[in-house]
């Protein structure tokens, strides 16, 4: 555990060092694909497939034809043959693209997430509204499909919701790293995209005391980082993730 002021200085320096394109492309990251397209729907697909080994995620995303979102459902069925990724089989991926196609024909993600968020200034409301909307668009069910979109929660989720919070970081923050396509959501209301790397790093640095990887840990870490930057606590996410991913935490010390 470090002196908080010293830790803030260290994390501020790390954020400046890491939040740029050079650092992004130094190691596999789904944002590399999302950044190329600079599109809200493609970004969400990239984020929701972002589980497992980073290199495997990137290799899979490179195989996807994102233009299928704008194609007919018949074309989607043809083009998704033989595609699979961990929990998602060919049919799951087909239905994922069909669902996104139907959603895009109805509403933009910016409008959907922003309108839900603005009612109470709560980012969880936006995530929940999206999940509920997905259920109305496609009655397809499978383990892989349901895992991709995550389980609808009531009140406080148990899951860290890492993939959704990562997507929202990409969409809301605007700098050399993140795209800033959602300009009506405030960065102060974002939640940390807590993956296992970030969680372990945060414990090692004394940012989190809770030992359970869940949504309560997300809130604990986000609130702690608000002490360092109230208006943009999630700016530290990429730096903390890279520290954990590369084992740099051992070099930087605790």
**Each residue's pLDDT tens digit in the chain (254 positions)?**
457 788 899 999 999 999 999 999 999 999 999 999 999 999 999 999 999 999 999 999 999 999 999 999 999 999 999 999 999 999 999 999 999 999 999 999 999 999 999 999 999 999 999 999 999 999 999 999 999 999 999 989 999 999 999 999 999 999 999 999 999 999 999 999 999 989 999 999 999 999 999 999 999 999 999 999 999 999 999 999 888 777 665 444 44
Phi/psi for 174 (5° steps) reads -135, 110
The rounded distance, in Å, linking the Cα atoms of 237 and 249 is 14
pLDDT at position 134:
98
- What is the reported pLDDT for 233? 98
Distance (Å, whole) CA 79 – CA 21 = 31
- The 3-state secondary structure of 20-41, one letter per residue: CHHHHCCCCCCHHHHHHHCCHH
User: How far is residue 59 from each of residues 28, 46, 192, measured CA to CA in Å?
Assistant: 9, 11, 25
Distances (CA, A) of 79 to 44, 70, 137: 20, 13, 21
Instruction: Give the per-residue pLDDT at 253.
Output: 45
3-state secondary structure 91-134: HHHHHHHHHHHHHHHHCCHHHHHHHHHHHHCCHHHHHHHHHHHH
Confidence (pLDDT) at 243: 84
- Determine the angle formed by the axes of helices 109-120 and 162-172, rounding to 10 degrees: 100
Alpha helices for 175-236 (secondary structure H): 196-204, 215-226
């Amino acid at each position: 555990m470090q002196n908080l002021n010293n830790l803030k200085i260290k994390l501020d320096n790390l954020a400046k060092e890491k939040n740029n394109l050079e650092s992004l492309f130094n190691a596999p990251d789904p944002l590399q694909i999302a950044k190329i397209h600079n599109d809200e729907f493609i970004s969400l697909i990239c984020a929701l497939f972002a589980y497992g080994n980073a290199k495997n995620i990137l290799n899979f995303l490179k195989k996807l034809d994102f233009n299928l979102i704008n194609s007919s459902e018949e074309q989607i069925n043809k083009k998704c043959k033989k595609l699979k990724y961990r929990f998602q089989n060919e049919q799951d991926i087909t239905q994922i693209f069909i669902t996104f196609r139907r959603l895009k024909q109805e509403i933009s993600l910016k409008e959907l997430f922003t309108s839900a968020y603005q009612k109470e200034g709560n980012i969880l409301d936006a995530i929940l509204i999206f999940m509920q909307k997905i259920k109305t668009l496609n009655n397809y069910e499978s383990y892989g499909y349901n895992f991709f979109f995550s389980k609808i929660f009531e009140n406080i989720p148990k899951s860290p919701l890492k993939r959704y919070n990562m997507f929202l970081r990409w969409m809301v923050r605007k700098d050399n790293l993140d795209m800033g396509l959602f300009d009506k959501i405030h960065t102060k209301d974002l939640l940390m995209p807590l993956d296992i790397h970030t969680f372990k790093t945060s414990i090692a640095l004394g940012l989190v005391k809770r030992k359970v990887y869940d949504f309560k840990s997300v809130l604990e870490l986000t609130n702690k980082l608000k002490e360092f930057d109230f208006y943009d606590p999630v700016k530290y996410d990429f730096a903390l993730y890279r520290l954990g991913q590369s084992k740099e935490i051992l070099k930087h010390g605790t």
